[in-house]
């Protein structure tokens, strides 16, 4: 469905994309995971033909983007990272306007608008001006605005930034429904929970390059990632930390909790439970953190996904 070869893009001398290649199958849910400034939005902008790449080739649904951008634009929907709506218009008016740009007949458009408003739980607020909406409600309309022409491919650029859990869950459900109905989705995020929850395949992008790609399991096994034992103590002094470090070098302290990184949780867990009380530390909680994208990312780049 989507075929991207060696995309490069430079902004005023700074390389934002250093050769991105992707192959995404029909109906696939592809996650593009990366920290701030990795090049996610740049990639999406090029794929949606509002930005031209310096070099590289993009084919979406059998159309070459450069040769036939109009055909590509007809079959894609884009949810931009920033909320892009007319604040002075109502949700209904916004949806009708955005759908109108795709030549959907008015009666059909009105029907779809009503359906989408229902789907996103905003039917009773549809005539309110968007500017009076909460952040979460705006996000919902921001997504709905990309769906009126029933695109085959949907690009979503961090669609859940800064919203309340209720809106988030609702959006997740809608996204899952869209995927079940066969839509191809490219989803960028720096929340690994989201990538883990939805994505068939994940590409990890950093500094304008895809540094790893595969299913979650593939990524885990390929990267020999350690798991995390998080132990919370009743009190933790600077001196305790030094003592711990003397027998366990791969640690991280977060307030009264210490993360011990381990490649063999079972063995290490009993070791820690014995050793820590010997230092005079009282354990009040133990948690095993499953390997996730964050740890994979950390292993790959030595950086946190989020600051």
Binding segment for another protein (CB under 8 A), chosen from 90-98, 163-171, 175-183, 203-211, is 90-98
Burial class (CB in 10 A: 0-12, 13-18, 19+), 5: middle
Of 73, 125, 139, 179, the one binding another protein (CB under 8 A) is 73
Q: Which string of DSSP letters, residue by residue, matches 103-144?
A: T--HHHHHHHHHHHHHHTT-GGGTTSBGGGS-HHHHHHHHHH
Strands (E), 94-244: 153-157, 184-189, 201-206, 209-214, 227-233
Cα separations in angstroms, 258 against 112, 230, 263? 52, 6, 16
Q: Does 41 bind Mg ion (CB under 5 A)?
A: yes
261: left (phi over 0), alpha (psi -120 to 50) or beta: beta
Give the shortest CB-260-to-another protein separation in angstroms: 44
Distance CA 34, CA 305 (A): 7
Q: Does 89 bind another protein (CB under 8 A)?
A: yes
Any residues with CB less than 8 A from the CB of 6 and at least 6 apart, and which? 19, 20, 21, 55, 56, 57
Return the one option of another protein, Mg ion, ligand ATP, none that residue 221 interacts with (CB less than 5 to 8 A, by type). Answer: none
**Neighbour-count burial for 152-162, b at 16+ CB within 10 Å, e otherwise:** bbbbbbbbbee
In the complex, residue closest to Mg ion by CB? 41
Give the shortest CB-10-to-Mg ion separation in angstroms: 17
Return the one option of Mg ion, another protein, ligand ATP, none that residue 78 interacts with (CB less than 5 to 8 A, by type). Answer: another protein
Binding segment for another protein (CB under 8 A), chosen from 18-26, 32-40, 42-50, 189-197, is 42-50
Read off the tokens for 42: 């740049």
End-to-end CA distance of the chain: 34
Q: x-or-dash pattern for another protein, window 91-130, by CB under 8 A? A: --x---xx-xxx----------------------------
Angle between helix axes 135-144 and 165-180 (nearest 10 degrees) is 10
Give the shortest CB-274-to-ligand ATP separation in angstroms: 43
Q: Does 81 bind ligand ATP (CB under 6 A)?
A: yes
Q: Does 48 bind another protein (CB under 8 A)?
A: yes
Binding segment for another protein (CB under 8 A), chosen from 80-88, 114-122, 221-229, 292-300, is 80-88
Binding segment for Mg ion (CB under 5 A), chosen from 6-14, 40-48, 95-103, 233-241, is 40-48
Q: Does 145 bind another protein (CB under 8 A)?
A: yes
Binding segment for ligand ATP (CB under 6 A), chosen from 32-40, 245-253, 260-268, 270-278, is 32-40
Residues that bind ligand ATP (CB under 6 A): 11-12, 16, 34, 36-42, 81, 190
């Amino acid at each position: 469905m989507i075929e991207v070869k060696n995309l490069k893009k430079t902004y005023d001398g700074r390389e934002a994309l250093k050769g991105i290649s992707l192959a995404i199958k029909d109906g696939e849910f592809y996650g593009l995971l990366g920290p701030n400034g990795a090049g996610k939005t740049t990639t999406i902008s090029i794929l949606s033909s509002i930005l031209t790449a310096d070099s590289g080739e993009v084919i979406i649904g059998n159309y070459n983007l450069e040769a036939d951008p109009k055909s590509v634009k007809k079959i894609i929907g884009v949810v931009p990272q920033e909320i892009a709506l007319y604040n002075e218009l109502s949700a209904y008016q916004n949806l009708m306007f955005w759908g109108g740009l795709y030549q959907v007949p008015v009666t059909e458009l009105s029907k779809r608008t009503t359906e989408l408003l229902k789907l996103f739980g905003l039917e009773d607020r549809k005539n309110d001006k968007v500017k009076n909406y909460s952040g979460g409600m705006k996000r919902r309309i921001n997504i709905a605005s990309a769906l009126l022409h029933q695109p085959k491919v949907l690009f979503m650029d961090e669609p859940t930034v800064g919203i309340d859990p209720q809106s988030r869950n609702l959006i997740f459900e809608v996204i899952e429904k869209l995927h079940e109905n066969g839509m191809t989705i490219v989803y960028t995020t720096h929340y690994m929970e989201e990538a883990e929850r939805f994505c068939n395949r994940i590409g990890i992008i950093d500094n304008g390059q895809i540094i790893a790609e595969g299913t979650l399991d593939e990524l885990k096994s390929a990267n020999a990632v350690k798991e995390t034992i998080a132990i919370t103590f009743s009190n933790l002094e600077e001196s305790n930390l030094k003592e711990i470090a003397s027998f366990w070098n791969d640690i991280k302290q977060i307030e009264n909790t210490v993360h011990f990184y381990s490649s063999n949780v079972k063995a290490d867990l009993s070791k820690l439970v014995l050793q820590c009380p010997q230092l005079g530390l009282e354990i009040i909680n133990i948690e095993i953190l499953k390997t996730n994208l964050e740890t994979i990312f950390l292993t790959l780049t030595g950086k946190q996904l989020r600051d």
